[in-house]
Amino acid sequence: MRFNWLSEYVASIVSTDSTTTAWRQLQEQLLNPQAIYCRIKSTSAEALEHIVIACAVYLLVCLGLYKLTFWLSQHNNNAADRERDRNRNRNLGGGGEVGGGLKKALQSGLSLRSIRLPKTVHMERVLLVTAHPDDECMFFGPLIYTLTQRQGCQVYILCLSNGNFDQQGQVRRQELWRSCSKLGIPESNIVLMNATNLPDDPNVDWRPDAVAGLILHAVESLSIQAIFTFDRDGVSSHPNHCAVYYAAASLCLANLLPKDCQFYTLDSINLVRKYLSIFDLLCTCFMSTHWCILNWKEAGIVRSAMMEHQSQMKWFRWLYIYTSRYMFINSMRQINLSDVELEMQIHDN
Per-residue pLDDT tens over the stretch 166-206: 888 899 999 999 999 999 999 999 999 988 889 998 888 99
pLDDT at 181: 95
Per-residue pLDDT tens over the stretch 289-299: 899 999 999 99
Residue 41 has pLDDT above 90, yes or no: no
Partners of residue 192 on adjacent β-strands: 159
Kindly state the DSSP code that residue 129 receives in the 8-state scheme: E
Q: How far is CA 345 from the centre of its chain?
A: 24
Q: What is the pTM of this model?
A: 0.80
Q: Give the DSSP H or E segment for 140.
A: none
Q: Are 137 and 302 in contact (CB under 8 A)?
A: yes
Q: Are 127 and 156 in contact (CB under 8 A)?
A: yes
pLDDT at 49: 85
Per-residue pLDDT tens over the stretch 78-127: 444 555 555 555 555 554 444 555 555 555 545 567 888 887 667 899 99
- Give the span between the Cα atoms of 309 and 313, in whole angstroms: 7
1-10, 15-24, 272-281, 312-321: which has the minimum mean pLDDT?
Answer: 1-10
